[in-house]
Structure 1
Amino acid sequence: MLRESRRVDGGKRAPAFSLSDTEGRIRTLSEFDDAPALLVAFICNHCPFVLHIIDELSAFAREYASKGLQVVAISSNDTAEFPEDGFKHMGPFASAHGFTFPYLYDGDQQVALAYNAICTPDFFLYGPDRTLAYAGQFDASRPKINRPPVPGLAPLRTDLPVTGEDMRAAVDAVLAGRAVPEPQRPSAGCSIKWKEGMNPSWA
């Protein structure tokens, strides 16, 4: 199901997490305290919206690492419904797309709930004090997929290249100590696949 991310109140602090990366190491929010900016990206292996931007997102993360941005990607999908999103497939996916940042497994979906994540990809950008500065799209480009129009959602801009324009502007502002540009346009993607009994009312 196609969903759009929702506006989360600016100033909300980043929820703590303790999750395994693709090598089985436990990674925590606090280990990234020294980074001037932190981008938490909820993604998965199979979603066409993720696949559409993933190589540019990976290149963007490499480019901005030297500027002070730490990227952390998290996969929270129910793997009973989508086995290709399972833990054993995350390492090969990260390697295939040149990840230089942690890719973490949220098996019980508690971190996705804490962040109010709704779709893949869903982005949450935090400043040096780990308060939320930006929750929106990577850019306006969308993949070509076979689906009827969704009432209430804007048409997908499949004619645009993937540039990361919106995210670059937001990160540049955070690193410079400025407010991020407005409006913050929502990300669009596949809905997070919640486990039975876990589907939150807002998702």
Structure 2
Amino acid sequence: MLRMSRQVGEGETAPDFDLPDTLGERRSLADFADKPALLVAFICNHCPFVLHIIDELVAFAKEYEPIGLQVVAISSNDPSEFPEDDYDHMRHFAQEKGFPFPYLHDESQDVALAYGAICTPDFFLYDRDRKLVYNGQFDASRPKINRPPVPGLPPLRTDLPVTGEDMRRAVDAVLAGQPVPEPHHPSAGCSIKWKEGKDPWWG
């Protein structure tokens, strides 16, 4: 199911986390304290919206890491519905795509709940003080999928290339110490697959 709304407010502090990455190490927010910008990306392995942008996201991270951006990807999906989202597949996916950033496993889904994550991909960009400055789309490109249009929303732009335009504009502003320019268009993607009894009111 498509999700295209926000549940968090700009200026909120990044919730802490303590999660294993695909190399078996535990990572927390403090590990990246020296970086002037932090992008937390909720993704998964199977989602067509993630697969549509993943190569450009990897290239984007490699380009911006040397100038101050830390990207952290988190998968919170319950793999009972999509087994390809389990931890072993996460490890393979990160290796196959050459992730230059940590890919963390949120098995309890508590971190996704703390961040108010809605879909995959869902992006949360924080400034040096770890205040939220952007919760929006990577860019306006969308994959071609066999789904009916969402009532009240414009058709997905499947004719656009993946450029990361919106995220680049946001990160450039943060690294320059400037406010992220409007508009902030929310991300679109597959709903997070919540465990029974775990799904939030927005899930």
Per the TM superposition, whether the score is higher than 0.5 is yes
Indicate whether 1:65 and 2:65 are aligned: yes
What are the superposed Cα offsets for residues 98-124 of structure 1, whole Å, 9 maximum, x if unpaired?
A: 101000000000000000000000000
In the TM superposition, 1:184-199 aligns within 5 A as 184-199=184-199
Q: TM-score, normalised by structure 2?
A: 0.98
* Residues 36, 175 of structure 1: 8 Å contact kept: yes
Letter in 2 for 1:91: R
- The alignment partner of 1:90 has SS state of helix
- The alignment partner of 2:190 has SS state of strand
Runs of 4+ in 1 over 2 A off after TM superposition: none
Counterpart for residue 52 of structure 2: 52
Identity fraction in percent:
74
* Residues 7, 116 of structure 2: 8 Å contact kept: no
- The alignment partner of 2:67 has SS state of coil
Q: TM-score, normalised by structure 1?
A: 0.98
* Residues 19, 106 of structure 1: 8 Å contact kept: yes
- Give, in angstroms, the shift of residue 97 of structure 1: 1.0
In the TM superposition, 1:84-99 aligns within 5 A as 84-99=84-99
Letter in 1 for 2:174: V
RMSD of Structure 2 on Structure 1 (CA) = 0.8
- The alignment partner of 1:9 has SS state of coil
* Residues 4, 186 of structure 2: 8 Å contact kept: yes
Counterpart for residue 33 of structure 1: 33
Distance in 1, Cα, partners of 2:142 & 2:25: 33
In the TM superposition, 1:158-197 aligns within 5 A as 158-197=158-197
Distance in 2, Cα, partners of 1:110 & 1:176: 32
Letter in 1 for 2:9: D
Indicate whether 1:138 and 2:161 are aligned: no
- Give, in angstroms, the shift of residue 7 of structure 1: 5.5
Counterpart for residue 111 of structure 1: 111
Q: Which moved more, 1:87-96 or 1:123-132?
A: 87-96
Counterpart for residue 3 of structure 1: 3
Indicate whether 1:126 and 2:126 are aligned: yes
For these two proteins, the number of residue pairs brought into alignment is 203
What are the superposed Cα offsets for residues 32-86 of structure 1, whole Å, 9 maximum, x if unpaired?
A: 0000000000000000000000000000000000110000000000011111000
- The alignment partner of 1:78 has SS state of coil
